Amino acid sequence: MGIDFRARVGALVPPILALFIGLSASLIIAAVVGESPLKVLEILLSGALGSATKIGYSLFYATPLLLTGLSVAWAFRAGLFNIGAEGQMTLGGVAMAIVGISFPDLPWIVALPLALFAAFATGGTWGAIAGWIKAKRGCHEVLTTILLNFIAYGLASFLILSVFKNPESQVPETAMVGAGYQIPALSGSLGNLIGGTSPLNLSLGFSLLMVAVYGFIFKRTRLGFYQKIAGGAPEVGRFAGVRIDQQTILAMFISGGIAGLAAVSPVLGFAYKTREGFTGNVGFVGIAVALLGRNSPSGIVFAALLFGVLTKGALDLDLDTKYVSRDLATVIQAFIVLAVASQAGLSSLWASLWPSSVSRIGRTAK
């Protein structure tokens, strides 16, 4: 138990350190360009957490990050690097809109599950293509998922602009989904206590539920066990009778599916239609969420909330500071990712300096 507890506490150190490094480095940059770091920090915090509405916005921005982070984390667990969450999410959003436009009169109890299913299946299929190519042809998923992103953008543009276009709008967006598909904002509930007047909606609960399901699957089920074997010890699985190629395809299907679901808050919970470029890089930030959260359910929640807070807090930088803009949030994220990545690098560097520099001679059998 003692060891277990220490390991748990120890696991918290790297992400917190990464956050600290990322924040400090960015504040130093702010100072270099002539902005007071304390002021920047204050704007970030008050902008993100200063009122119920601001907190609501932070949570609203965190909602899709929970799911894209989860998507990337699932793939990581299975030994795969899904850089395609952005494209998968885009197509998921398009699928929601298509269903919502095609069957507008369904009651919400049917409509919402149907739209979610369509988004999952579409994003999943997009992911599974990369999984299939990897399993059968050995082409690395990093390459294929990046390339599939571009195809997804093109496909989405075509569908949004040419097939399901909103005829009354100049903006590249689809028509509205039916009323049954629209998830209302929480604003107004409990006298604006939750989320103030922000567009925060029940998608947050759904996303948190998905994180919990993910945790359960990887802790307790055969599916999670096989996925982990595919990621951690594929040869062991192969000799034990686990079809690793199938697991790879399945992993990319589920990962892509979760990314497809990430469209739920921006599409069904906010705009009620799908705009071109509605994802706003959430798919890529999901990679940072998974890395910072170390693929653990609680870590993903922590990282998604953190990045939600950063996104919201940084919006006020445009107005309230002279020299830095909202892009500082991206800089902070980038530094955090660098810090997380270099921790792995640093420890392996450390390992290579310490024991293995001496293992060149007299290495025993295995």
Where does this chain bind other proteins (CB under 8 A)? Answer: 135-138, 220-223, 225, 229, 232-233, 235-245, 357-366
Q: Which two three-digit tokens encode residue 144? A: 């294929």
| Four-residue CA torsion sign, 24, 29, 30, 32 | positive
Which residue, 227 or 333, has its beta carbon nearer to other proteins?
A: 227
CB of 355 to other proteins, least distance (A): 9
C-beta of residue 255 within 8 angstroms of C-beta of residue 86: no
CB of 250 to other proteins, least distance (A): 14
Which residue, 138 or 167, has its beta carbon nearer to other proteins?
A: 138
CB of 77 to other proteins, least distance (A): 13
Which residue, 18 or 135, has its beta carbon nearer to other proteins?
A: 135
CB of 337 to other proteins, least distance (A): 24
| Helical (H) or strand (E) element with 93 | helix 85-102
Which residue, 322 or 363, has its beta carbon nearer to other proteins?
A: 363
Q: Which two three-digit tokens encode residue 18? A: 């990464």
| Dist CA 354 CA 349 (whole Å) | 9
CB of 32 to other proteins, least distance (A): 42
Residues 6+ apart with CB under 8 A from 175: 97, 101, 164, 165, 166, 167, 273
| Dist CA 306 CA 242 (whole Å) | 38
Q: Which two three-digit tokens encode residue 143? A: 């390459």
**Helices 2-32/327-353 angle, 10° precision:** 130
Which residue, 135 or 337, has its beta carbon nearer to other proteins?
A: 135
Which residue, 41 or 233, has its beta carbon nearer to other proteins?
A: 233
CB of 249 to other proteins, least distance (A): 12
